A = this chain, B = another copy of it.
């Protein structure tokens, strides 16, 4: 079978650079060797560079959701009061994970497409005697394409409480600016398959000293996701259990590319491509943009009334070999989401918009 090339405009997995693909296909290394240890240690150091942190940074073999669960299981104890400031499906997932562990989080639900409002957060923090153990945010919520102002939100938390600031940066990292240390983020989480330009299967957590105190005191059960054993293995350049070796080697190459370009330049490039996409989607296609505070990771837009988004995207995938994301949950079939992060190029976006335009014309829009 010959490889089949799709244009992926999906918010993860994003396309793999050819040099990353070449690394994935190399003869495998054993994970308890000096050679692999060096690669792993470089990945950790490069992740600190991308997270903009000096904090302990950990790697897990799992999808992004696994890293969200690791934050819950490592930081919390039964009876802890927590707050989730939700801006979409992934904020809601943070609440679901906590409920699975018997924690009953308080949740601020923003209207889908709205960013987290610092004023609502401040009022709730001030009205909550005893405060919260931790407050959970999304850097960007992939379901809606909004970016949250983490700098301000973290400041509001610090000024009004003692709570830990936990940020899911799974879709936002290496696309939108995130200053983990400078903004006072205690835990930042991410996955390998978005801005990090690798396939899915790895996740990372940057954990501040303040958060480590919580980790050592936390009472929720954890083993595979136990950050303590991961930290203990770092000096030996190892993980406690066999990591996804091939994905680590691929990740090292993708991070080398990010280092070479410079993270600030990655942000600028993504910013420019996002602006181009919004202009084309709103201007050329005449679609109404979905997010009020649009992220640079993807552009969400309403389909015109009467257009069946499910059918349109399915046909586009089968016939044009272009993969654009559907809306999630209540937005399924109603909005489209065009990603523009990681290794996605302007040519990819233009091809997607041209194909989408032709299909909308055909159905009379």
Which residues of A pack against B, CB within 8 Å?
Answer: 3-6, 8, 10, 12-13, 15-16, 21-22, 24-31, 33-35, 61-66, 69, 96-97, 100-102, 191, 193, 199-201, 220-226, 240-247, 250, 317-318, 323
Contacts and interface: CB of A to CB of B under 8 A. Distances in A.
B64 A62 contact: no
A244 B247 contact: yes
A5 B27 contact: yes
Nearest to A225: B224
Contacts of A25: 21-22, 24-25
A10 B21 CA distance: 25
Contact of A242 (B12, B22, B29, B35): B12
Contacts of A3: 26-27
Task: Name which of A64, A97, A244 has the most chain B CB atoms within 10 A of its CB.
Answer: A244
Given A63-B224, A193-B245, 18 more contacts: A6-B29, A8-B30, A13-B29, A13-B31, A15-B27, A15-B28, A22-B25, A61-B201, A62-B224, A64-B241, A66-B241, A101-B221, A201-B201, A220-B221, A244-B244, A244-B247, A246-B246, A246-B247
Nearest to A69: B224
A199 B16 contact: no
Contacts of A31: 13, 200
Contacts of A29: 6, 13
A224 B25 CA distance: 28
A27 B64 CA distance: 21
Contacts of A24: 24-25, 246
B69 A245 contact: no
Q: Which 5 A-B pairs have the closest CB atoms?
A: A25-B25, A201-B244, A199-B246, A65-B241, A100-B223
Contacts of A246: 24, 199-201, 246-247, 250
A193 B32 CA distance: 14
B243 A63 contact: yes
A337 to B, nearest CB: 12
Contacts of A193: 242, 245
Given A244-B201, A246-B199, A317-B33, A222 B100 contact: yes
Contact of A247 (B100, B224, B247): B247
